Amino acid sequence: MKLYLQKLMAGESLTLEEMTEAARKLFAGEASESESGALLGLLALKGETAEEIAGLVKAIRERSTAISGIQGSVTDNCGTGGDGSKSFNISTTSAFVIAGAGITIAKHGNRSVSSQTGSADVLEQLGVSLNSSPEETAELLKENGITFLFAPNVHPGMKAVMKVRQDLRVPTIFNLIGPLTNPVQLDTQLLGIYRRDKLMLMGEVLKKLGRKRAVIINGANHMDEASLAGENHLVILENGELKKMILRPEEVGLPTYSIDEIAGGDADRNARIMMSVLKGDEGPFRDTVILNAGIGIFAHGKVDTIQAGIQLARESLDSGAALSKLEYLIEKSKQSAKMGVV
């Protein structure tokens, strides 16, 4: 670890292999708290590179719970959080719409970060189990086309750095990598990020991680979601190339709403918002989900344009397909709970 710290102190970046090895030492408890804090602090001070982020992700995934037996192309639409918008659970609601459009999605998430209610909080409120085994996860992906992977369950090794992160009390590389650490091998991804200046960087990371296609987005008001409040900044990864794009609501036939109109609340309120959208209620919540799900469908490559993705998102909602994906998870959770009691 000393050699890596000396290199960072000299303003040099670590290679992917060096960062992977340094991270392995963190998670194995082979680095002191001082060394761990210095590593994270020096990386943040210098500015993390794509190789350093990819190296950390590689080390985390090595220690993640293995999810095997999954066939076909799988995507995710998890964001970094950290935007402070206090919005409702946009990406979680959108995930069911994406699944309803026929795309297999392994929804990776956690409890609240920037919103009042995280994906885990709202799904738990609705009766979805957070404790599916690896075998159950694979089965749900096969049968339902969507399941939820609760980050603390699939990344037990992260506990080793929790205290250091809490003690530092400043954003570190770990604030960027949550959506990258899905234990399922993803082919495609929609990645929301709260840092607009990191869009191209995260595109490079996804390329190094082997994504065939991806969209990285920072929305209006610097949300880690697409927003109907104004300009959305996107980077599209396709055929190994990265290109920038700006998307405005009027360009895809959607109205403009202020950020206040999509505010969320506690788990109960956000659960009610999610169900209202999936059951067909019109308004800013639905339109925001349609935009984000449409971009997610486009990111997967099922359609050639975001506009076509938005049309499929509408059909997923209007047909009841999106709602049925959530209801399936709730019912399976009830069955598992009964079996557990017996």
Q: How far apart are CA 285 and CA 94, in angstroms?
A: 10
Position 47 pLDDT exceeds 60: yes
79 is in an annotated binding site: yes
Position 71 pLDDT exceeds 60: yes
Position 252 pLDDT exceeds 80: yes
Beta-bridge partner residues of 244: 235
How many other C-beta atoms lie within 10 A of the C-beta of residue 301? 16
- Band the pLDDT of 342: cuts 50, 70, 90: very low
Report the sign of the C-alpha dihedral through residues 289, 101, 179, 247, in that order: negative
281 is in an annotated binding site: no
Query: Which tokens go with 310?
Result: 């938005």
115 is in an annotated binding site: yes
For residues 144-148, give the mean pLDDT: 97
Tens digits of residue pLDDT in 159-186? 888 889 888 888 999 999 999 999 999 9
Confidence at residue 198, expressed as pLDDT on a 0 to 100 scale: 96
Rounded to 5 degrees, φ, ψ at 191 are -120, 115
Position 283 pLDDT exceeds 80: yes
Whose tokens are 């999954």? That residue is: 70
Beta-bridge partner residues of 233: 218, 246
107 is in an annotated binding site: yes
238 is in an annotated binding site: no
33 is in an annotated binding site: no
Position 340 pLDDT exceeds 70: no
Give the DSSP H or E segment for 139: helix 134-144
111 is in an annotated binding site: yes
61 is in an annotated binding site: no
Q: How far apart are CA 124 and CA 131, in angstroms?
A: 10
Confidence at residue 221, expressed as pLDDT on a 0 to 100 scale: 93
Q: How far apart are CA 323 and CA 310, in angstroms?
A: 17
Confidence at residue 341, expressed as pLDDT on a 0 to 100 scale: 46
Rounded to 5 degrees, φ, ψ at 77 are -130, 30
Pairing mode, strands 188-192 and 232-238 = unpaired
Lowest mean pLDDT among 155-159, 241-245, 260-264, 274-278: 155-159
Confidence at residue 117, expressed as pLDDT on a 0 to 100 scale: 84
Tens digits of residue pLDDT in 301-328? 999 999 999 999 999 999 999 999 999 9
90 is in an annotated binding site: yes
324 is in an annotated binding site: no
109 is in an annotated binding site: yes
Lowest mean pLDDT among 77-86, 211-220, 313-322: 77-86
Position 115 pLDDT exceeds 60: no
Confidence at residue 103, expressed as pLDDT on a 0 to 100 scale: 98
225 is in an annotated binding site: yes
Q: How far apart are CA 212 and CA 93, in angstroms?
A: 24
Q: Number of helices and strands (H, E) in the chain?
A: 15, 6
Q: How far apart are CA 153 and CA 65, in angstroms?
A: 8
Please name each of the domains of the chain with its CATH number. Answer: 1-62 (1.20.970.10), 75-328 (3.40.1030.10)
Edge-first strand order for the sheet with 213-218 is 188-192, 213-218, 232-238, 241-247
* Closest by CA position to 316, among listed 275, 287, 278: 278
- One-letter amino acid of 150: F
Residues 6+ apart with CB under 8 A from 309: 293, 294, 295, 296, 297, 298, 302, 303
92 is in an annotated binding site: yes
91 is in an annotated binding site: yes
224 is in an annotated binding site: yes
Count CA atoms within 13 Å of residue 243 on its CB side.
Answer: 6
Q: How far apart are CA 299 and CA 291, in angstroms?
A: 12
